[in-house]
Chain A
């Protein structure tokens, strides 16, 4: 089974509007971390936001917030007040366990296009 599922291959949003990018995950671990990364056309992976499995509050970083619903195993990214520079690929990722050298499992990504 896929550990990370992103069901939206592409999304469009009007500039200045908010958009939600979906992500569901699958793990039997109690301790895990969820991440969102942005990959512009240049290729670099830019860290956006992190949510730990034991964090009770939804993570927020500026215009980014993570809608964490543990029972549903979802970790949707919400981008508020979209900007043209937000157009990029967005990847949801998970690491099982908190310490150690465990790697990240990535979803297939969502391509976001912000329309002027």
Chain B
């Protein structure tokens, strides 16, 4: 299947710092990528839809100034957690769909721990 690469896999940072997470589609172009957040033992919750060349669409309750999304090319979307706080500690996972195909592929996720 298609490959989605996510980096870093784990990050530990101090409260107040910003963290950038990268999501790349390695063997296909993705005009749309999705960012999810997963709390322990819970399901995936969609945070935002990243659109290449335009602003991201955020789900209700997600602070767009807190979670900055940039989709500068057809193969790269980034999520920046600004001024991270301990409550932002979570598992973040990105996803992309190759063209008109139905299958949505996921990155390996990033485990963020804010001290």
Q: What residues make up the interface of A, taking CB atoms closer than 8 Å to B?
A: 33, 35, 37, 42-47, 50, 52, 91, 95, 98-99, 101, 103-104, 106-109
Complex CA–CA separation, A42 to B106 (angstroms): 13
Cβ of A98 and Cβ of B43 under 8 Å apart? Answer: no
Cβ of B44 and Cβ of A43 under 8 Å apart? Answer: no
Contact of B109 among A35, A43, A47 (CB under 8 A): A43
Complex CA–CA separation, A106 to B93 (angstroms): 14
17 residue pairs of the A-B complex, CB under 8 angstroms, read A33-B102, A42-B108, A43-B91, A43-B108, A44-B108, A45-B44, A45-B93, A45-B95, A46-B106, A47-B104, A47-B106, A52-B102, A95-B102, A98-B102, A104-B95, A104-B104, A108-B43
Cβ of B103 and Cβ of A47 under 8 Å apart? Answer: yes
Cβ of B102 and Cβ of A107 under 8 Å apart? Answer: no
Q: Which residues on the B side are within 8 Å of A45 (C-beta)?
A: 44, 93, 95, 106, 109
Complex CA–CA separation, A50 to B103 (angstroms): 7
